[in-house]
Amino acid sequence: MDRTVRTVEDLFALLDGLFASGSFAGRVATGDGKDFWDRFYADRSRPVPFFAAKPDENLAAYLAQGLIAPGRALDLGCGAGRNALHLASHGFEVDAVDLSPVAVDWAEGRAREVGADVRFLCGDAFDAAATDLTGPYDLVVDSGCFHHLPPHRRVGYLALLDRVLAPGGHFALTCFAAGEAGMGTALADADLYRERDLRGGLAYTPESLRWIFSDLVEVELRRMREEPPESPLFGKTFLWAALFRRDVRCAAAGR
């Protein structure tokens, strides 16, 4: 017999292993995630919509509407740096983290080309010992990371937000939308473990996002607007665009 579970992280590692040899999202979210994303970003000529140096349309809209203002920002799963560079160009002090050294190298090259001052970090954002995330941050941005996490990893995700998001700070999330013209799987969490397959990523309903992030105050939750190829912005309607705020009173009370 092999008894390997003693800590919460032991349990999480065991649950990660259920998905490690399965679907795209399972490989992304577990042991070989770094290698997967390194291969994914290796060919920069591929026609991947979010390879273009375009920020999310909702992020640009939040700035234009004054819903967010320059401060310290963290870009989770920054990829080639498109959102991080946009925030830096609008006066934010930006930390951007990604698991893939290939993606971070691309992002750093883009930053040098435009003279942007962004601190890029390579590593697991959810491992406090491995990644130097010096919060608090006034804005945390996630465009495409959250929906690739297996359900049990939401625990660490919420813990990270609680640790680094400043009182009154904002959390901007872009993730797969369930329902008509959406993307990803709407299978219940328990069924994902039974099938050992994340099926390309998890789709969320507005209700599930509101429940998961119920410690935060909803500012806006809508479908991302479709942007044509010639637009300077990235936008796909199969995604949710959500903006939440950390309530100052709840943060002060330790909630």
Q: How many domains does the chain have?
A: 1
Confidence of residue 25 (pLDDT cuts 50, 70, 90): very low
User: Counting Cβ atoms within 10 Å, is residue 195 exposed (0-12), middle (13-18) or buried (19+)?
Assistant: middle
The tokens describing 186, both together, are 């709407």
Please report the pLDDT score of residue 132 as a whole number: 80
- Any domain includes 1: no
Neighbouring residues of 131: CB distance < 8 A, sequence distance ≥ 6? 97, 121, 123, 124, 125
pLDDT at 209: 98
The answer to whether 149 and 121 have CB atoms below 8 angstroms apart is: no
Is 3 among the domain residues?
Answer: no
Taking Cα atoms as reference points, which of 208, 123, 192 lies closest to residue 151? 192
Percent of the chain with pLDDT strictly greater than 90: 72
Percentage of the chain modeled with pLDDT above 70? 91
Consecutive H or E run containing 118: strand 118-122
Instruction: Give, as one character, the DSSP assignment of residue 224.
Output: P
Domain presence at residue 210: yes
Instruction: State the residue for tokens 């000529």.
Output: 45
Residue 127 domain-assigned (yes or no): yes
Q: What CATH number corresponds to the domain at position 40?
A: 3.40.50.150
142 found inside a domain: yes
Arithmetic mean of pLDDT, 11-32:
66
Output the pLDDT for position 51. Answer: 87
108 domain-assigned:
yes
Give the end-to-end CA distance of the chain in Å, rounded to a whole number: 41
**Strand stretches in 159-216, DSSP E:** 165-176
Question: Mapping DSSP to helix (H, G, I), strand (E, B) and coil, where does residue 50 land?
Answer: helix
The answer, as to whether pTM is greater than 0.95, is no
- Higher per-residue pLDDT: 168 or 126: 168
Q: How many Å apart are CA 54 and CA 10, to the nearest integer? A: 39
In a domain, residue 2? The reply is no
Q: Is residue 42, in this structure, part of any structural domain at all?
A: yes
Q: Which domain holds residue 178?
A: 8-252
- Residue 96 CB coordination number (10 Å): 29
Q: What is the mean pLDDT of residues 175-200?
A: 94
In which order are the strands placed within the sheet that holds 165-176? 118-122, 93-98, 72-76, 137-143, 165-176, 239-245, 217-223
